[in-house]
Structure 1
Amino acid sequence: MSSNAATGTGNTSSEVMMGLILMFVSVLLSPLIDIFSKLAITTIPSAEITAARFAVQALCMLPIVLWRRNLTDITWRQSFFHAIRGAIITVSMISFVTTLKYMAVADAIAIFFVEPIILTILSSIFLKEKIGWRRYTACGVGFFGAILIIQPSFQEVGYVALLPVVSAVCIAISAMMNRALAQREDPWVMQFHMGLWGLLICAILLHLGHGSGSDVLDPVMPDARAWLYLLGVGVTAAIAGIFGVYAYRAAPASTLAPLQYFEIVSATAFAWLVFGDFPNALKWLGISIIMGSGFYIIWRERSFASRPVSDTSGETRAP
């Protein structure tokens, strides 16, 4: 097929290839957000790390939304939805970053990747999307894989091992809200406003937590090294997010979705290089089951649905 041939989805084969390359770079860089977060969490509370990410991402997106001249094309009703999305994403990010203080990066990301499975179930309940018994079975198998990772982690760190699941549920809820908004709003403006609301919510939480001694909410003044870690969180999140946005513009979500699971592999590699963490055989089994279930759900949706229910294109993942 030539580079100008249509792929049947409105994208040429060359555009799809570019989308695949951009998504590969995005998922390759995304674990660095978690690596910097884990380095920062030793001295910085998770809400402050989350606020830094929102701040840097918003600053990176500001020139783009100003150039597109549609920053103010938003109603009060839409602002209300963005505020809710900002709150949900804030809870998701704080939950995930807090996890990184106690768990290995690869383990936390693997548990988080039950998110497409959760989204599939929630979409069938609230959006009335038709889900067959095969995908429900795949969801059950995927949760079993997550339990194989959670169970030994739960013995080591307690209820903290469940925080990636909380993060995944929040992202799934936000993704469903995204569908209602994405049809009539610019994705850059959506992400910019969500970032502003997230930053405001984090600022309120940090103000309320000041002096509490909480390692989640009590703000501290970062030292020079911590400032670099916080900058790393925000910059890598912004770059990975921009690559992801343009990847979804170039290629269909159903084509790109399987590449998202490469993040587990790249996260394992980065975590091993930086922290010496490497999953044991039982956790690798759980990771393999989660990935296999996710691939099957994506394949079924790609075969039978016009838009996959597990599509989280343009969504902000937990750090």
Structure 2
Amino acid sequence: MGIALMVGFALLAPGMDAFAKLIGDSVAVAQVAVTRFLMQAGLLLPLAAVMGWLHLPDRTETCLHLVRAAIMLIATALFFQALQVLPIADAIAIFFVEPFILTLLGGLILREPIGPRRYIACAVGFAGALLIIQPSFSTFGPVAMLPLGTAMLFAIYMILTRRMATRMHPITLQTYTGLAATALGVPVLIWFNGSGITALDPVWPDMQTVALLLGMGVCATLSHICLSFALSYAPASLLAPIQYLEIVSATVLGLYLFGDFPDMLSLIGIALIIASGLFVFLRERHLDLKRRPLPAP
């Protein structure tokens, strides 16, 4: 179930990025990032309230929600800024050092068991990502570093989510994340209103941009619901390589919406990524079957 939900995340998340790229620089990147979380809170809060999933967080939990929200706000803003220049597939490919970082953090911080074969599979997937990353550095220069910052922040976010997802309902977790990010982001937009700083100065969007913002918010909410449920079912070190499937859906969207088609190196990299993800899935399924108790005679 955890793997299936992570696949759902990998299919939905690039839709959010495609909407953000279509929005471009018509509104401030900080405004786009805050709107993404405002939509998440607006969609999930009524559901969580009706189902009785809300509770009053204590001081420690509130701090964790605020830290996760701050991490995601910065990570989202960095990535959306990169999308204004980079092709969507290239930006996501660079971001895909994150599952490799997460696998290491899952073993070091969460003490999750990681066998040598899974390490090798992650390394193969990382090598595939490098084949896609290299041309972006040579073509776009320092801008290609922004998704790397997103990757590091998102890996930390995933670790915190893993710790919290087992203690509360995933819808509750994502509701509080949206509320915390909105509470942190709206004052920033108010403070920088009229400042003239392009990335932070909010503007009133036209109707087309409003529609794109709404689509981005829906994709973001659905994808991160899948992510939270996935982390409540399975360890982060297992789910990390499955995220590589996101680059496949991003490539399809990039081709359809922006005419970006991977070159030969990128295609080889994608093949390595898919192969490593499938190996991890099949390996875990094999181990799960071995762990199941034999039926009683």
Q: Same fold (TM over 0.5)?
A: yes
The Cα of 1:126 is off from its aligned counterpart by 2.3
CA contact (8 A) 1:25 1:240 kept: yes
CA contact (8 A) 2:165 2:229 kept: no
- Normalising by structure 1, we get a TM-score of 0.77
Q: What is the match of residue 193 of structure 1?
A: 176
Deviates more, 1:176-185 or 1:295-304: 295-304
SS of 2:200's equivalent in the other structure is coil
Deviates more, 1:255-264 or 1:195-204: 255-264
Q: What is the match of residue 206 of structure 1?
A: 189
CA contact (8 A) 2:40 2:220 kept: yes
Among 263, 272, 276, the alignment partner of 1:280 is 263
Q: What is the match of residue 82 of structure 1?
A: 65
Please report the RMSD computed on the Cα atoms of aligned residues, expressed in angstroms. Answer: 3.1
Cα distance in 1 for residues equivalent to 2:147 and 2:82: 7
CA contact (8 A) 2:99 2:241 kept: no
Cα distance in 2 for residues equivalent to 1:300 and 1:24: 17
**Counterparts of residues 1-319 of structure 1 (less than 5 Å):** 20=4, 27-242=10-225, 260-300=243-283
Cα distance in 1 for residues equivalent to 2:148 and 2:27: 23
Deviates more, 1:71-80 or 1:142-151: 142-151
Deviates more, 1:234-243 or 1:34-43: 234-243
The Cα of 1:78 is off from its aligned counterpart by 0.4
Identity, % of aligned pairs?
41
The Cα of 1:39 is off from its aligned counterpart by 0.8
- Larger proportion of helix: 2
> Alpha-carbon deviations, 1:259-292, whole Å to 9, x = none?
6544322222222121111111112222333333
Cα distance in 2 for residues equivalent to 1:220 and 1:269: 31
Q: 1:292 to 1:209 in 2, by over 3 A?
A: farther
The number of residues matched between the two structures is: 287
Cα distance in 2 for residues equivalent to 1:258 and 1:150: 17
The Cα of 1:234 is off from its aligned counterpart by 0.7
Cα distance in 2 for residues equivalent to 1:177 and 1:241: 14
One-letter amino acid of the structure 1 residue matched with residue 89 of structure 2: A
Cα distance in 1 for residues equivalent to 2:36 and 2:181: 10
The Cα of 1:191 is off from its aligned counterpart by 0.9
Cα distance in 1 for residues equivalent to 2:281 and 2:187: 39
Cα distance in 2 for residues equivalent to 1:146 and 1:269: 16
- Which residues of structure 2 form unaligned runs of 5+? 290-297
Deviates more, 1:56-65 or 1:120-129: 120-129
CA contact (8 A) 1:96 1:164 kept: yes
SS of 1:219's equivalent in the other structure is coil
One-letter amino acid of the structure 2 residue matched with residue 269 of structure 1: V
One-letter amino acid of the structure 2 residue matched with residue 51 of structure 1: V
- Which residues of structure 1 form unaligned runs of 5+? 1-15, 307-319
